[in-house]
Amino acid sequence: MSTTENIIELRHITKIFDDDGFTAVDDFNLEVKRGEFVTFLGPSGCGKTTTLRMIAGFDVPTSGEILLNGESIVGLPPYKRPINTVFQRYALFPHMNIYNNIAFGLRQKKTPEEEIRRKVRKVLALVDLEGFEERSVSTLSGGQQQRIAIARALVNEPEILLLDEPLGALDLKMRKEMQIELKAMHDKLGITFIYVTHDQEEALTMSDKIVVMNEGKTQQIGTPEDIYNEPATAFVADFIGESNIFSGIMTGKLKARFCGGEFACVDDYPEGTHITAVVRPEDVEIVPAGTGTIDGVVDTVIFKGMHYEIAVLSGKNEMVIQTVHSAKPGDRVGMRVDPENIHIMKAEDHTNTFYADINSAHRIEYNGHTLDTSLTRIIKGSRRLENGNILDANGEVIDPARMRILVSIQPEDIEMTDDQDAGLIQGTISNLIYLGDHYSYIIHTELEQDFVVYDEDLWNMDDRVSLLMPVEKMSFALRKK
Amino acid sequence: MHFSRKNLGIPYAVFLTVFVIAPLLVLLFYAFTNGQGQFTMQNLTGFFTDPNALGTLFYSLLIAAVTTLVCLLLAYPVAYILGTSRLKSRSVIIMLFVMPMWINFSLRITALKEVLTLIEGNLARYPFTNAVIGITYDFLPFMILPIYTTLEKLDGALREAAMDLGADPVRTFLQVTLPLSVPGIISGVSMVFLPAMTNYVVLDMLYNSTYIMGSLIGSYFSAYNWHGGSMIALILLVIICLFTLLTSEDGEENPRGGALL
């Protein structure tokens, strides 16, 4: 791909903030073609806004290059870049009327007043706010301020328009309308748009290309279809749309075991590979018990208008299913999934994760054992009230009936023992690979989960072991049930 | 008995009546009466026909104007740096500027007097300069705080928006930051300008011969001329009211008012 086709290129961009040493963006690479609509998508704190600010010039990358039309602009201050920004909360100048707000950029370039007047009128027509010149900012609604902010940026005819969560402050209906209008504006003007949002639906609706980010790193770059259908990592699968995500293992040629069953699949990995399996809720078929790949008991049924959302418990695993047929909680059902609809990827890391419950005494319980820790110790910012309730960092009561704890522990932190009652859970060794200086074992537990354990000693296949997991090695996260 | 929220205001209402409204009425009474308790305009016309009194008024205005300007020039850069940076230590720095106010007033001014004597040798040589220095020293925090508060509340995105639209740092300051900090400036000016006209205690303590409106009122009162002194106080009050009225009208037009006072 030649550089002239790319309007902007980011090469190995890293941003580490001086004051706290926080790495906001880590080795970010991107090429944007002229006229493309690119969206940075990710949860808050993933580095998407920082990346945008570096393109605008408000933040300077710690290392890396930003090329505009093939030339580096890293040293260029924001007021010298042919790039304009639509800010999150609009940032309209409150001491100027609408006309002067929009004219601000043109005046800096010493444009003749006659031309300014013509351009302002034209851009106000574009955003459908003709005749608003003399109005003051405070008399405008949120949606109107948003349009003025877009007009103020567009009137400068930038090469690239940056939009930082521009629709975040609008209500749902207005947001949907603006999505369509922005997309139409982009198609009409042919300007390159770089858009930042945490709303996956917005990203899928509007973009030519989506960059999914998490913790400062690019997770996947692709078209909306690619990202939805072929997520590259478990994070992307989880973030885009709803997914059932299981960790599992390849048990043979095009065979994977996860969620307590052995499924046929179309992704080829060597036997014994630790994998992450993603199944979209709409791809699971409910069949009579015993005739599917796995069986389970219906836990909850929620009517969603177009479909039912049914959660089925199979052992300790939960499968969420979207279907037009209802079911009754307590029903025993079978489940099957088309091999094409099972998306298998190699597990990025071998961190073991499992869900533990919060009991009525606010203790954490797993497989009948109570963990030797407390909620306030493991949930950052949480505190116990005098009435015994526990609040999370946002001040909301943690309800044991609705919340559970996602526990993560590394393979090297788990120890195997013959003493069956000593560990948190028991299982049999279903796979082992020698990795040079240690063995990697897969332990299939009685709760139909697979744990990865590293051990220097050789154990035998099908040995029955108990897993010792020290609480201080675990990390915890609060999740909705 | 039914308790309403309004009852919470009773203590202040009592305070207001006894210490603000009543003295104002007394002031009004004295200003328009003579020694025999009869109504007269003599005090008013007397003030405006006395060249000494008028001279003092204009001299006070001059001192106040210069002091306010010096305060503003000293305070704005400090307030700007503190209000717009992300310095972690800024609350400490703010504290450094406010702390002199916690030290006893007479001790503070006496210290200033000693320092000035050390520098100038004889305090009588520069009465005007010393008056400005003394009053500035006393009132500087009142200028810094409101400007700082306004700038600190100013959305940083506005400055970024200006830069994004092609304005260099100087234009960004002149076209965005400065106009939007006007409420803070007005607030600071009204807290410095008006007291500066009357605060003769500072000057007295600096052995300063400068004669300002406060000194004039003081001299009337020490001569037991309650009527003349009250009239001058009333005239000052009217000037203050006019000033406040003028500036607050300006401030209300700005939707981002948000100064300290």
Would you list the domain boundaries of chain A? 3-229, 263-346, 352-480
pLDDT, position A4 = 61
What are the pLDDT digits (tens) for A357-389? 888 888 888 888 888 888 888 777 777 877 778
User: Do B65 and B175 sit in the same domain of this protein?
Assistant: yes
Number of H helices, E strands in chain A: 9, 32
Residue B254 has pLDDT above 50, yes or no: no
Parallel, antiparallel or unpaired: strands A294-303 and A425-434: unpaired
A175-189, A373-387, B40-54, B130-144: range with lowest mean pLDDT? A373-387
Is residue B42 assigned to a domain?
no
CATH of residue B233's domain is 1.10.3720.10
* Interface contact B163-A138, CB threshold 8 A: no
Say if B225 falls within a structural domain.
yes
Amino acid in position A165: E
Please tell me the distance in Å from B80's CA to the nearest CA on chain A.
18
Of residues A247, A269, A271, A261, the one with CA closest to residue A337: A261
Residues B116 and B17 in one domain: no
Q: Are residues B183 and B99 in the same domain?
A: yes
The confidence score (pLDDT) of residue A114 equals: 94
Shared domain check, B29 and B67? no
Contact residues, chain B, for A83 at CB < 8 Å: 164
Of the listed ranges A116-125, A148-157, A252-261, the one predicted with least confidence? A252-261
Cβ distance of A95 and B166 shorter than 8 Å: no
Q: Which CATH class is domain A263-346?
A: mainly beta
Residues B96 and B8 placed together within one structural domain of the fold = no
Task: Establish if B53 belongs to a structural domain.
Answer: no
Q: Are residues B93 and B206 in the same domain?
A: yes
Q: Cβ distance A469 to A451 under 8 Å? A: no
Structure tokens belonging to residue B186: 């007005």
Q: Above 90 in pLDDT, residue A148?
A: yes
Among B167, B175, B256, the residue with its CB nearest the CB of A94 is B256
Q: Please give the average per-residue pLDDT across B14-24, as a whole number.
A: 93
Quote the pLDDT of residue B167: 94
Q: Is residue B259 part of a domain?
A: no
- Does A95 contact B254 at a Cβ distance shorter than 8 Å? yes
Taking CA–CA distances from B253, the nearest residue in chain A reads A95
Q: Rounded CA gap, A439 and A433, in Å?
A: 6
Report d(CA A40, CA A165) in Å as an integer: 10
Architecture of domain A3-229: 3-Layer(aba) Sandwich (3.40)
- How close does chain A come to B245, measured CA to CA in Å? 21
Whether the predicted pLDDT of B123 surpasses 50:
yes
Mean pLDDT of chain A: 89
Cβ A95–B160 below 8 Å, yes or no?
Answer: no
Range list of H helices, chain B? 10-16, 22-31, 42-49, 51-84, 90-98, 105-120, 127-153, 156-164, 169-172, 178-180, 182-198, 200-205, 213-222, 226-253
Residue B29 sits in the same domain as residue B76: no
- Among B155, B171, B175, the residue with its CB nearest the CB of A91 is B155
pLDDT at B260 over 50: no
Single-letter amino acid, residue B4: S
The dihedral region occupied by A171, where left means phi > 0, alpha psi between -120 and 50, and beta the remainder, is beta
B261 assigned to some structural domain: no
Domain that holds residue B70: 61-253
Q: Are residues B150 and B218 in the same domain?
A: yes
Amino acid at B94: I
Interval B86-108 mean pLDDT: 81
Would you say A302 and A375 are in contact if contact means Cβ atoms under 8 Å apart? no
pLDDT at B253 over 80: no
pLDDT at A3 over 60: no
pLDDT at A294: 92
Give the range among A42-51, A56-65, A407-416, A434-443 with minimum mean pLDDT.
Answer: A434-443
The Cα–Cα gap between B87 and B93 comes to 10
Residues B98 and B181 both lie in one domain:
yes
Instruction: Indicate whether B193 pLDDT > 60.
Output: yes
The sign one gets for the Cα dihedral B65, B66, B68, B69 is positive
Task: Give the per-residue pLDDT at A154.
Answer: 93
Contact: A85, B179; criterion CB under 8 Å: no
pLDDT in tens, B47-86: 888 888 888 888 888 999 999 999 999 999 999 988 887 7
User: How confident is the model at residue B1, as a pLDDT?
Assistant: 55
Q: Domain A352-480: which topology? A: OB fold (Dihydrolipoamide Acetyltransferase, E2P) (2.40.50)
Residues 178-197 of B with CB under 8 A from A: 179-180
Weakest mean pLDDT among A263-272, B155-164, B177-186: A263-272
| CB–CB contact B167 A79 (8 Å) | yes
Instruction: Name the token pair of A13.
Output: 């961009």
Q: How far apart are CA A416 and CA A441, in angstroms?
A: 10
The per-residue pLDDT for A224 is 94
Chain A nearest-CA residue for B255:
A94
Q: Which of A284-288, B35-39, B225-229 has the lowest mean pLDDT?
A: B35-39
Q: Are residues B117 and B199 in the same domain?
A: yes
| Assembly ipTM | 0.76
**SS3 at position B150:** helix
Domain count for chain B, please give it.
2
Stretch A10-31: mean pLDDT: 91
Q: Got the DSSP string for A185-250?
A: HHHHH--EEEEEES-HHHHHHH-SEEEEEETTEEEEEE-HHHHHHS-SSHHHHHHSS--EEEEEEE
CATH topology agreement for domains A263-346 and A352-480: yes
Nearest to B157 among A19, A80, A87 (CB): A87
Mean pLDDT of chain B: 85
Judge whether B108 and B136 are in contact, CB under 8 Å.
no
Minimal CA separation from B169 to chain A, in Å: 9
> In a 10 Å sphere around its CB, with 0-12 CB exposed, 13-18 middle and 19+ buried, how is residue B118 labelled?
exposed
Binary contact (B164, A79; C-beta < 8 A): yes
pTM of the model: 0.73
CB atoms B164 and A84 under 8 Å: yes
E strand or H helix at A382: none
Select the residue of A57, A89, A104 nearest B165 (Cβ to Cβ).
A104
pLDDT single digits (tens) A205-256: 999 999 999 889 999 999 999 998 888 887 888 888 888 888 888 888 899 9
For residue A6, give the 3-state DSSP assignment: strand
- Structural domain contains residue B11: yes
As a whole number of angstroms, the distance between CA A277 and CA A317 comes to 13
